[in-house]
Copies of this chain bind each other. A is one copy, B any other.
Amino acid sequence: MIDECRLNMNVETMQRLPRIVVVGAGFAGLFAVQAMKRLAARIILIDRHNYHLFQPLLYQVATAGLAPSDIAWPIRAILTRQKNASVVFGEVREVDVVRNEVILENDRIGFDYLVIATGARHSYFGHDDWSDDAPGLKSIDDATAIRRRLLLAFERAETCNDEIERKRLMRFLIVGAGPTGVELAGAIAELAHYTLAKDFRRIDPRTAHIMLVEAGSRILPAFHESVSSYANRALEKLNVEVRLNAQVTHCDDKGVIINGERMDVGTVLWAAGVAASPAGNWLEATTDQSGRVIVEPDLSFKDLTNIFAVGDTAAVTDSRGIQVPGIAPAAKQQGRYVARVIAARLAGGKEPPPFRYRHAGNFATIGRNSAVIERGAFRLKGWLAWWIWGIAHIYFLIGLPSPLMVSFRWLWEYLTYGRGARLITGRH
């Protein structure tokens, strides 16, 4: 169905080659495809966006620090030289495990091996109707929509003649204090206190009230307690109010209810819950409570040994019993591992040992110049951690188009407080 056209010359050779379909061009899927570069196979990468997204910096687009094209690259551009790979722009609806085909809206694509790397979405814990009033952050369109909301809140406050409404518009609330929530809160605080500080004439953006609300007893719960308290202090320095043990029980277009108390807020952002994409349903597989597929030690599905799940789609306990976290380096490692498994099977050779996760560390930033790094008993906080965070991210770019230009651009935005990307675009 695919490839027959331009490759007429060697259609027969092509059709004899095994077909590997990868769904999702995030870190897991893209690195799986790139690791299969030398395989004598036809690799088809399907995604419903035409770009690979550098998700760790998505919060920067949402807070107007970077432009979308600074952190997203066309998948075709990344794979243009990998001749055994083709890209299909489309959305997978179902998988037919009897005929070994993935089903798109207007097409069916057969496979010998299938890698599902469809990532995660935000979860509202059964309150999906909150998504309009408390948007989450997973795609470029999410990020530009949040950017529009944040900037419009200040614009509306500037022209608002009602004191109470103006105060409401200047309140920003982030639900969930994992790394994304902490990063968003820090970046919004800097947007208000530095970038926008002198741009308005009636309001003073520095009086904006930014709140970070966490249901648990401390922020960054995946980190050590000393890291949590450091991050807490760093946020307070940025004038972010942190509320712990605070449960959001209601959400509408005027605000929220927290621990039974009504609070009028202009902008609510959701960074609380993550749920795997519905890949588990496609295959009626066993999933954990977040909807992630529980996979075998080689990351394949139970009873469907030619189908694999990687990245945020999979719940993986590695060969030493370590629960693999849902972060980019883990996705990358899983993508590469699956490529090795498939290569071994195609070659009829010995399969690699069960997947083993190498933990590089946990990272989180709190505004510019503050970050935390944790790796086992090693913990680093402050500006040095921030620079290591930055360099690690640039290192991570290797293999993507123009890492130097992107690094230069980031550095520029860092030095100029990202004055450039503050555009209100799209409908409002």
List chain A positions with a Cβ less than 8 A from chain B.
1-7, 49-51, 67-70, 72-74, 76-77, 80-81, 86-90, 106-107, 140-141, 144, 151, 155, 158-159, 161, 196, 198-204, 401-402, 405, 409, 412, 416, 419-426
Does A405 lie within 8 Å of B412, measured CB to CB? yes
Contacts of A141 in B (CB 8 A): 425-426
Contacts of A76 in B (CB 8 A): 196, 199-200
Question: Shortest beta-carbon distance, A15 to chain B, in Å?
Answer: 14
Q: How far is the CA of A422 from the CA of B51 in the complex (A)?
A: 8
Question: Shortest beta-carbon distance, A142 to chain B, in Å?
Answer: 11
Q: How far is the CA of A155 from the CA of B422 in the complex (A)?
A: 30
Does B86 lie within 8 Å of A201, measured CB to CB? yes
By beta carbon, the residue of chain B nearest A73 is: B420
Instruction: Contacts A69-B423, A159-B89, A423-B50 given; indicate if A199 touches B77 (C-beta within 8 A).
Output: yes
Question: Shortest beta-carbon distance, A134 to chain B, in Å?
Answer: 21
Does A50 lie within 8 Å of B420, measured CB to CB? no
Does B425 lie within 8 Å of A402, measured CB to CB? no
Instruction: Contacts A4-B202, A201-B2 given; indicate if A419 touches B89 (C-beta within 8 A).
Output: no
Instruction: Contacts A89-B158, A161-B1, A198-B80 given; indicate if A49 touches B424 (C-beta within 8 A).
Output: yes
| Among B67, B202, B409, contact of A3 (Cβ-Cβ < 8 Å) | B202
Question: Shortest beta-carbon distance, A92 to chain B, in Å?
Answer: 13
Known: A6-B204, A405-B420. 11 other contacts (CB 8 A): A5-B203, A50-B424, A67-B68, A76-B196, A77-B419, A86-B201, A88-B158, A89-B158, A89-B159, A107-B161, A405-B416
The listed residue with most B CB atoms (<10 A of its CB), out of A68, A69, A73, A87, is A69
Does B86 lie within 8 Å of A422, measured CB to CB? no
Question: Shortest beta-carbon distance, A103 to chain B, in Å?
Answer: 14
Contacts of A196 in B (CB 8 A): 76
| Among B68, B90, B158, B402, contact of A423 (Cβ-Cβ < 8 Å) | B68
By beta carbon, the residue of chain B nearest A140 is: B425
Q: How far is the CA of A107 from the CA of B155 in the complex (A)?
A: 14
Q: How far is the CA of A421 from the CA of B201 in the complex (A)?
A: 34
Does B155 lie within 8 Å of A89, measured CB to CB? yes
Contacts of A420 in B (CB 8 A): 69, 73, 401-402, 405
Q: How far is the CA of A421 from the CA of B420 in the complex (A)?
A: 16
Does B90 lie within 8 Å of A159, measured CB to CB? yes
Q: How far is the CA of A217 from the CA of B107 in the complex (A)?
A: 46
Does B202 lie within 8 Å of A422, measured CB to CB? no
Contacts of A199 in B (CB 8 A): 74, 76-77, 80, 87
By beta carbon, the residue of chain B nearest A406 is: B420
Q: How far is the CA of A424 from the CA of B3 in the complex (A)?
A: 23
Does B159 lie within 8 Å of A74, measured CB to CB? no
Instruction: Contacts A90-B159, A416-B402 given; indicate if A74 touches B201 (C-beta within 8 A).
Output: no
Question: Shortest beta-carbon distance, A300 to chain B, in Å?
Answer: 27
By beta carbon, the residue of chain B nearest A199 is: B76
Q: How far is the CA of A161 from the CA of B425 in the complex (A)?
A: 35
Q: How far is the CA of A419 from the CA of B402 in the complex (A)?
A: 9
Contacts of A423 in B (CB 8 A): 50-51, 68-69, 72, 74, 140
By beta carbon, the residue of chain B nearest A401 is: B419
By beta carbon, the residue of chain B nearest A161 is: B1
Q: How far is the CA of A7 from the CA of B158 in the complex (A)?
A: 13
Contacts of A401 in B (CB 8 A): 419-420
Contacts of A422 in B (CB 8 A): 50-51, 74, 77
Does B50 lie within 8 Å of A421, measured CB to CB? no
Q: How far is the CA of A236 from the CA of B309 in the complex (A)?
A: 50
Q: How far is the CA of A203 from the CA of B69 in the complex (A)?
A: 25
